[in-house]
Amino acid sequence: MIYQQTLGNKATFSGIGLHTGKLITLTLRPADPGTGIVFHRVDLSPAVSIEARSANVVNTRLSTTIGRGEVSVSTIEHLMAALYGCGIDNAHVDINGPEVPIMDGSAAPFVTAITKAGIKESKKPRKFLVVKKPVSVVEGDKKASIIPSRHYKISFDMQFAHPAVKSQSKSLLFSQNSFVDDFASARTFGFLAEVEMMKSHGLALGGSLENAVVIGDNGVINPEGLRFQDEFVRHKILDSVGDYSLCGHRLIGHVKAAKSGHDLNHKLVTELLKRPDCYTLIEFTPQAFNAPFNLALPELSWLEA
């Protein structure tokens, strides 16, 4: 996993945008090493390209939106999580509308299609962003921080004043298998009263029981129930994988979050990137990557397990 990867073939999706309610078609295409993930609004003439980077985030209300000038693409977090989770570093994303289709509310449909399209490895090494010093952002009772670690890990605590949700905690020690098997299929969720309010304000126009878990006064109203007993916190971690991928590199650090969402996720990435004393960028050789971490890279011996 030390070399950059792209898709082996194209993958195309069509579906409804969660908030716009518009039918959107999206195609993933292979890209050269060093390209990163680039969205192209092909419904415009000329097409407008937007790199999926933290610096291009223009809105974090209810989803993560990137933009360039007056043009934007929203709800990118599930697709970004799927690309990161499948090990895709470089891809072109052709999209004919302003929002990534919500599919079933999770990253699983994207993961399935990416897996089917195949993965092509390059000979160009990845750059890993290794956290050296803790960085935190706090807003009231919400907090997100990232600390040094030998691994990429996300620990999330969530609480809601609702008997069906209450408090849930979960950690992801990141690997492709752990993400795909245990988190990718966790769906987005919302409370019935809030969904009705959002629709009255022109939001969640494409939301339904087909693409979200909806929680009523007495619990989940989806007839099929939950995919996991703790599906809510698993989805929060899925969102986090997508949001933190906008740092532009593979991460090595431990994210600890409490009641965090897209806005705080983005603020943590922004705070980390503007403090170069808190991280270092590393390209691993095959020998170093497979050797004991602190022996192969003595300059990183400060990392804790």
CA dist 37 and 51 (Å) reads 6
CA dist 214 and 231 (Å) reads 12
Known active-site residue 262: yes
Q: Which amino acid is present at 56?
A: N
pLDDT at 299 (0 to 100): 45
pLDDT at 66 (0 to 100): 98
Residue of 40, 235, 262, 266 marked catalytic: 262
Q: 3-state SS of the chain: helix, strand, coil percent to 5?
A: 25, 35, 40
Q: Which residue, 174, 9, 177, 6, is CA-closest to 89?
A: 6
pLDDT at 300 (0 to 100): 52
Which domains does the chain possess? Answer: 3-125 (3.30.230.20), 128-297 (3.30.1700.10)
Q: What is the pLDDT along the chain (305 residues), one digit of tens a residue?
A: 799 999 999 999 999 999 889 999 999 999 999 999 999 999 999 999 999 999 999 999 989 999 999 999 999 999 999 999 999 999 999 999 999 999 999 999 999 999 999 999 999 999 999 999 999 999 999 999 999 999 999 999 998 878 777 789 999 999 999 999 999 999 999 888 888 788 777 777 898 999 999 999 889 999 999 999 999 999 999 999 999 999 999 999 999 999 999 999 999 999 999 999 999 999 987 665 554 444 344 445 445 44
pLDDT at 83 (0 to 100): 98
pLDDT at 288 (0 to 100): 58
pLDDT at 303 (0 to 100): 54
DSSP assignment letter at 126: P
